[in-house]
Amino acid sequence: MHRRVSLLSAVALALAGALVPAGAARAEAANGLDPRPAGWTATDSQAERRTVSQYWTTQRMLAAQPLNAPAPRRTQSRGPSQGEPWATRGATITRRSPWTTRGAAWSVGGTAPVTAARQSLVPNSPGLQWTDGGAIVRTTGRVFFTTADGRNSSCSGSAVTSANESVVITAGHCVKLNGAAHRNWVFVPAFDDGRRPFGTWVASAMLTTQQWNAREDINFDVAAVVVAPLNGRTLTDVVGGQGVAFNQARQRQMFAFGYPAADPFDGSELIYCSGRAFNDTVMTRDQGLRCNMTGGSSGGPWFQGFDEGTGLGWLNSVNSFTYNFAPGFMFGPFFGDEAMAVYRTAQNTDAL
């Protein structure tokens, strides 16, 4: 479920300098890191994207191996910075999509409206198949890529609302691992046992935090991938987009989703976990959740304020890693200023 590989070159990083809060910039300057996100180009021509898309046959997707994250190291930073709460609402869809914009029933610091559909779900689930439909089915998908050593691997990801309508949020190790970038990177929303109802979306640019890029610090294991348009349409125009939120309160009720592909799962179904998050007190400053998802679920979204009736929420972390001694628990990074800078730069990056 958790492993990383992927690096990119230059992506309009000048945008990020003005987006990173001053406090975060000062902290990273003191650590010798550029406060702007690290970014690189994944594909730079239609011909290259066509080659990547054609590479991923159904047979290769079904045979892809789940990627696992490296274990946390005690030398890593213990404290992701916390700034002012910030969020953007999801599900901004154009008239060509059957999905509608999420209403104003929930705002930062509030709670999602209770719906009839919610009553039928398990409020504390360690891992069950999602069967209730909604926007979550379209916006969540499997991620496929080839690692630097030539292995075809998989993670999970989520389409989010963005200015360019083309951003997928996933884990940092799902774009880069062991100092090397993944290639042949694609996002398949609503993946269904080999079926691709909304197509295969090829990455054009990738971004991650400097902390992950430089030292694979598990506290900052987050990435944003900009995917190229498909058949003249952008990603969220086709499938919709989830909201995103940063610097939110901890220990809230969370819903986590992903496509685990290691035993006892096989990557064919969307799985969810739910419960109240807790703070990791072992080796990181991540948040934890009781969850038995396995390899391949890395990068899958965590939501605060998730509405089971609509399948919409505020993406506030991603599946990152599990401890070997506690396989029934999943951990995800705190979405602070660094994650916000990655997202903001990605949404202003040209998807073409």
- Domains defined along the chain, listed by start: 14-347 (2.40.10.120)
**What is the spatial distance between Cα 208 and Cα 146, in angstroms, rounded to a whole number?**
18
Spatial neighbors of 54 by CB under 8 A, at least 6 apart, are none
pLDDT reported for residue 19: 36
pLDDT, residue 128, reads: 82
Q: Are 342 and 223 in contact (CB under 8 A)?
A: yes
User: 22-30 vs 337-347: helix axis angle to the nearest 10?
Assistant: 110
pLDDT for residue 263: 85
pLDDT tens series, the chain, 352 aa: 443 322 222 333 333 333 333 344 444 444 556 678 999 999 999 999 999 999 999 999 999 999 887 778 764 555 444 566 656 655 433 322 222 223 222 222 222 322 333 334 455 667 788 888 999 999 999 999 999 999 999 999 999 999 999 999 999 999 999 999 999 999 999 999 899 999 999 999 999 999 999 999 999 999 999 999 999 999 999 999 999 999 999 999 999 999 999 888 888 899 999 999 999 999 999 999 999 999 999 999 999 999 999 999 999 999 999 998 888 999 999 999 999 999 999 999 998 8
Cβ contacts of residue 147 below 8 Å, gap of 6+? 5, 67, 153, 177, 180, 182
**SS3 assignment, position 241:** coil
CB atoms within 10 A of CB 48: 15
Residue 51 has which token pair? Answer: 């080659």
Helix (H) or strand (E) holding 345: helix 337-347
pLDDT of amino acid 72:
82
Taking alpha carbons only, the member of 247, 41, 236, 47 closest to residue 139 is 236
The b-or-e profile of 80-107 (16+ CB within 10 A means b, else e) is bbbbeebbbbbbbbeeebebeebeeebe
Residue 326: per-residue pLDDT: 85
| 3-state DSSP assignment of residue 96 | coil
